[in-house]
Structures are given as C-alpha cells and as structure tokens.
Structure 1
Amino acid sequence: MTPANQTSHTTERIIRDLDQRQAYGLTEDFTFKRPYGFQLGNEAQAEVNTWRRLYELLCLHLERHDPERFARLPDDPIFTTRRGNRSFARDPINLRSAMALPSGVYAEVNLSANHLRDQIKTLLDTFSIERQTLRIYLRQDRDAEGQ
C-alpha cells in the first residue's frame, strides 16, 4: 500500500469510526463536554482529548489550506476584541497563552470551549468554509455508561 493510499485508508477508517457517534455542529453548548474527534470536509481526526488540541488541529488545517490568508490573521481586526485582546499575533508576548504554529503565527488558546467554538466559527467564515462542513464528535459521558 502506498503512503497516499494508506493515508486515504486511515482517513476513511477514522470517518467510519466517527460516523458511529453523534455529530455536533457549532451551535451546541460545549460546557462540561470533551471532544473525541472532528471531521472537516473529507478530513477526519480522532482521539482529540482537549478543545485546545481540536483548535490547534483546525488551525493547522486552515494554515495548509490557505497559508497566505492564515498569515494575515494577526492583521485582521475581526480577530481583535473591543478590549484590544488579540486572537492571533506574530509575537507571543501579545497573547495571554500563545500556541505556536509553523507559519510563525501564534494563536490565543486561553479560552473556554464555547469561546474556542466561537473562534472556530469566525475562522471558518474568514476562510469561506461552510460551518456545517465541520462536525464535532464528543467523548461518551462516563456517567451515562453506568445507567
């Protein structure tokens, strides 16, 4: 099996595995919920343990998808709050908790699950990606197993 075929096979297997679970969109309240994986278009990622990791993987996907647009995110006023807090920067000192990305852009990750959800909505809009193409899968609730 060639590396390309192996990657395609792995992605198909992950999508098949994720499709067995309930998919959630970006309209959900993710308070007290943990991610398991996500699917964006034809790409899928499983075994995502935290919202920060999901956000990181999504940023990496967008960075690969359109590196020039991603590099301009620190300059886009939509990613600066009314208080002047930035979501993206070229210098980590400008963020509370910076996550480095390969392009030299840093992303703010000191955010709640619902704030990260809102950031994802804005990112998808910025990259002209339909919001409904992102499906998020949550971990099974441990309390529900015993009932």
Structure 2
Amino acid sequence: MNDRIRRILEDLEAVRENLLALSDDIWLSIDHNDPQALEEGVEFKRKFNEKFAAFDCLASEISGLIQQFTSVTLDAEEQTGAEDEAENRRIIQQLNREEPHHLDEDFTYKRPYGYILDGQGATGIMTWQRLYYLVLRQLYQRDRDRFRSLRDEPEFISPYGHRTFDFEPAQMHRALQIADDFYAECNLSANGICKVIAKVLAALGIPKEQLKLFLREDRNAGRDQG
C-alpha cells in the first residue's frame, strides 16, 4: 500500500510540474510580434495563473494531509552524501553510471533523479522542487552571507519587483524555505528552476559545469534495456 500511496503523491506533484511546463510551452509558442496573439496569450496566462494558484494550494494541502496521516513521504527514498564521505563516494559512483545532463538543456516534461554538485551527490529525488531545494540549500550552506545578498541583486528581481529570494514568504507566489528566515520563489517549471540555479552558480563564482543532473527517464530506460 505504501508504494501505491507514494506513486499517487508523485503523480500529484508531476501534474503540478507538467502544468507549469505546459504554461511555458504555450507562452513560447505565441507570436509576440502579433498584437492580437500576444493579447490573447496574456489573457490566457492571467487566467491560467489564477486557476493554477488555486489548484497548487489544494494539491499541496492534499499531499500534506496524505503524508501526515500515512507517514509516506516524497523524500523517503532520497540518499545524500552530505554527512558521510563513504556514502557520498558510493552515490557518486552510482550516478556516474548514468548519462549526465546540464543546466542549459530542455527539461520540459522530464523528471530528476539525482545530482552531483561540487563533489557532493544525492539520489532518489522525485521532483524538481526537491532538487531545487537541495541544490540551493547546499549553496546556501557553502556561503551563507553571499547567498543572502542575492536578494537585492537586480538579476534576481523581476521587472515587476518580484524577488527570487526574500525574507518574507508572503511576498512570493510560492515560497520554498531555504533557511529559518530565507525563502526562494518556487512557482517555476523545470526549466525555470534550472535557470535560477544557473544564475546562482554564476553569482557565487561556481562554473555551471560543476553541477551534473541525472534524470529518472534515463535510469528507467537503462533498467528496461537490462
């Protein structure tokens, strides 16, 4: 039964991430030089964002309720080498058997499985939001003061004044807690998440090639062929 519950929780999160990807797809398909098409696209995005916000809130509440009642969590299968060097070596060896991917690729409708960043690995990741949290958390712990300073840098503030990072979750569309008093905007598709991570790495002076991503599709395909 626990496996069934976990799959349902995964499906719920996959629907959320796929809806965000679909919204990106539709927006990019619009001819922005056509005033009428652009106007219709803006109206679609406005309505979509309104409906999605309601769905996202309800889906999060349902997921949280299920996880609390059943004690089945989305991160139960995660493994990280953050605290154990031997475990970290094992994880990296395992991941290095898979095909690595990089931040500048298109991850639309794809799902993560693990990553290696700066010699530290993690596997068993189920969602892009979870990968986003783990990577940002690792970078935050690496250089707390520099990371917190990103809040006020122009490249992390939208033309409408929305911050990628902030001290107040109420100011965000969907806040992801990185530290006790520090949050990241996570109302993002897979590609949006990767763009933010790439900007953070650049701001911290870390070559983006130091982050390798591993996809669940590649892992499952390897199992099927085996």
- TM-score (ref. length: structure 1): 0.90
**Which residue does the alignment assign to 1:130?**
207
- Note the residue ranges of structure 2 that are not aligned, 5 or more in a row: 1-80
Determine if contact 1:71/1:103 at 8 Å carries over to the other structure: no
Partner Cα distance (1:97, 1:83) in 2: 16
Give aligned-pair identity as a percent: 35
Determine if contact 1:86/1:95 at 8 Å carries over to the other structure: yes
Determine if contact 1:97/1:108 at 8 Å carries over to the other structure: yes
* Structure number having the greater helix percentage: 2
Number of residue pairs matched by the alignment: 142
**Which residue does the alignment assign to 1:115?**
192
| Secondary structure at the counterpart of residue 110 of structure 1 | coil
Determine if contact 1:99/1:106 at 8 Å carries over to the other structure: yes
Partner Cα distance (1:11, 1:129) in 2: 20
- Note the residue ranges of structure 1 that are not aligned, 5 or more in a row: none
1:15-45, Cα deviation, whole Å (9 max, x unpaired): 0110111000111100010000000121001
For 1:116, the aligned partner's letter is I
**Which residue does the alignment assign to 2:101?**
24
Of residues 125, 135, 153 in structure 2, which corresponds to 1:58? 135
| Secondary structure at the counterpart of residue 137 of structure 1 | strand
Asked if 1:69 corresponds to 2:142, the answer is: no
Partner Cα distance (2:140, 2:123) in 1: 19
- TM-score (ref. length: structure 2): 0.59
Structure possessing the higher relative contact order (Cα contacts under 8 Å, 6 or more residues apart) = 1
Partner Cα distance (1:17, 1:135) in 2: 13
For 1:99, the aligned partner's letter is L
Q: CA deviation at 1:113?
A: 0.3
Asked if 1:91 corresponds to 2:168, the answer is: yes
Of residues 159, 164, 168 in structure 2, which corresponds to 1:82? 159
Q: CA deviation at 1:85?
A: 2.0
Partner Cα distance (2:86, 2:221) in 1: 33
Superposition CA RMSD, Å:
1.9
Partner Cα distance (1:24, 1:143) in 2: 15
| Secondary structure at the counterpart of residue 101 of structure 1 | strand
> Over alpha carbons, which structure has the higher Rg?
2
After TM superposition, where is structure 1 displaced by more than 2 Å over at least 4 residues in a row?
140-146
Q: CA deviation at 1:143?
A: 7.6
For 1:96, the aligned partner's letter is H
Q: CA deviation at 1:103?
A: 4.5
Partner Cα distance (1:126, 1:38) in 2: 20
